[in-house]
Amino acid sequence: MSLMPTLTERLNRARADLRMGLPVVLSDAGRALLVAAAEVLTPERLADLRDLGAPVLVLTSRRAETLKARAYDGDLARIVVPGDAGVTWLRAVADPRDDLSTPMKGPFASLRDGAADLHRAGISLAKSAQLLPAVVAVTIDEGFAFAARHGLTLLPLTEAGPDLFSAGAMHPVVSARVPMVASEAGRVHIFRPEDGSTEHYAIEIGQPDRAKPVLARLHSACFTGDVLGSLKCDCGPQLNAALAQMGTEGAGVLLYLNQEGRGIGLANKMRAYALQDQGFDTVEANHRLGFEDDERDFRIGAAILREMGFGAVRLLTNNPKKVAMMEARGLQVAERVPLKVGETPQNRGYLATKAAKSGHLL
Ligand SMILES: Nc1nc2c(ncn2[C@@H]2O[C@H](COP(=O)(O)OP(=O)(O)OP(=O)(O)O)[C@@H](O)[C@H]2O)c(=O)[nH]1
Ligand SMILES: [Zn+2]
């Protein structure tokens, strides 16, 4: 018998550790790296990291571009942390909030030699913990004994497949009837991912025929739009219109995917909104924070639909990438059904940017 946690279980632990400001040990092929999230690192822990070696600040090339720092590792940059730099410096480099008011943070020296795969895993981990994609990293001689001695989580990446950061299979937990304004024949299903990460929901309207393409919507959570009625986006009206159409047709399925802010989480989305108030558009704001335009994993939606017995959909969307992603996961998109509602004076620019830069159909 072994009660040792699997890599996936350790990964979930590592996310929580990182969010608390605890370092995590990443190891592969005899190499080991200690990583901690820049946004929550305390001065005491930074001092501990310095005792172990010279720390680097790992950023994505998106963030490095704004900072005019060299990204020798393709998609990321390893920036030397100056000897006198404290956590305030780390946070100012990681977080674009004050870029405009205090533009000169450099010049920065970036590392060019040595492998960056463990650093890359550190960035993926920070993203999957919905933190800013910025980690402080120190190379250590050996991972296993170090992690055991300090009670830290170790991620032995040697065991990792290419899908380490995917949520895995979706397990149905429970479903219950919820009569709604859009349809009295509503049922809410809860799905829990294999890796123990965030749950996602499916709202089934009526009794869709599994043998035919089902009217479907993949809705990404938008606290501001769905709950607060924010005028900055079109999410709330899209959610209601999709349910209403399913109610009118008598059948459909709406997936409510907890991928707030196109997968960056609500805190980062609010950081993006603060940048939008400084004049950047939705895509530029994501990039300045160090994220890609869209960090969502649409495998989740495909896995839930398949688990529910659906193989083909009539997909309510204006986003051709959602169609392509579903087809790539083996779900046939028999038809794309446009969903154009909720344009406001406040979201006109946002919708225009999505059309111009993200390929949305107007
Ligand atoms: N990062 C970021 N996310 C945003 C912003 N405005 C809205 N969102 C998020 O964008 C997502 C919108 O998702 P959807 O409406 O499902 O997707 P879509 O790609 O616009 O495609 P369709 O609506 O299907 O055409 C939600 O997760 C929102 O929280 C923004 O300015 N920045
Ligand atoms: Zn929204």
Q: Which residue has the tokens 């030397």?
A: 80
Cα–ligand 1 centroid distance for 232 (angstroms): 11
Name the residue of 233, 256, 339, 354 to mutate for ligand 1: max ligand atoms within 8 A of Cβ. Answer: 233
SS3 220: strand
Q: Whose CA is nearest to atom 12 of ligand 1?
A: 220
Is pLDDT at 296 greater than 80 in this prediction? yes
Compute the mean pLDDT over every residue in the chain, rounded to the nearest whole number: 94
Is pLDDT at 122 greater than 80 in this prediction? yes
pLDDT score recorded for residue 158: 86
Average pLDDT (301-314) is 97
pLDDT score recorded for residue 166: 82
**Domains identified in the chain and CATH numbers:** 7-159 (3.90.870.10), 170-259+296-358 (3.40.50.10990)
296 in catalytic set:
yes
pLDDT score recorded for residue 242: 98
Is pLDDT at 1 greater than 80 in this prediction? no
Instruction: Judge if the beta carbon of residue 235 lies within 6 A of ligand 1.
Output: yes
Is pLDDT at 161 greater than 80 in this prediction? no
Higher pLDDT, 103 or 264: 264
Name the residue of 269, 280, 298 to mutate for ligand 1: max ligand atoms within 8 A of Cβ. Answer: 269
At 199, is the pLDDT very low, low, confident or very high (cuts 50, 70, 90)?
very high
Is pLDDT at 152 greater than 80 in this prediction? yes
DSSP character string of 50-106 = HHHS--EEEEEHHHHHHHT---TTSSEEEEEPPTT--HHHHHHHH-GGGTTTS----
Name the residue of 262, 292, 293 to mutate for ligand 1: max ligand atoms within 8 A of Cβ. Answer: 262
At 353, is the pLDDT very low, low, confident or very high (cuts 50, 70, 90)?
confident
pLDDT score recorded for residue 118: 96
294 in catalytic set:
yes
Residue-wise pLDDT for 168-177, tens only, equals 889 999 999 9
Higher pLDDT, 231 or 1: 231
Q: Which two tokens stand for residue 82?
A: 């100056």
Higher pLDDT, 3 or 227: 227
Cα–ligand 2 centroid distance for 96 (angstroms): 22
Catalytic residue (one of 28, 195, 296, 336): 296
Annotated binding site for GTP: 217-221, 238, 260-262, 282, 317, 322
Nearest-atom index, ligand 1, CA of 319? 25
User: Buried (b) or exposed (e) across 319-356, using 16+ Cβ within 10 A?
Assistant: beebbebbeeeebebeebbebeebeeeebeebbebbee
Cα–ligand 2 centroid distance for 229 (angstroms): 9
State the ligand closest to the CA atom of 226: 2
ipTM greater than 0.95? yes
Q: What is the dihedral sign for C-alpha 242, 244, 245, 247?
A: positive
Find out whether 310 and 208 touch, Cβ atoms under 8 Å: yes
pLDDT score recorded for residue 321: 92
Average pLDDT (139-145) is 95
State phi, psi for 288 to the nearest 5 degrees.
-65, -30
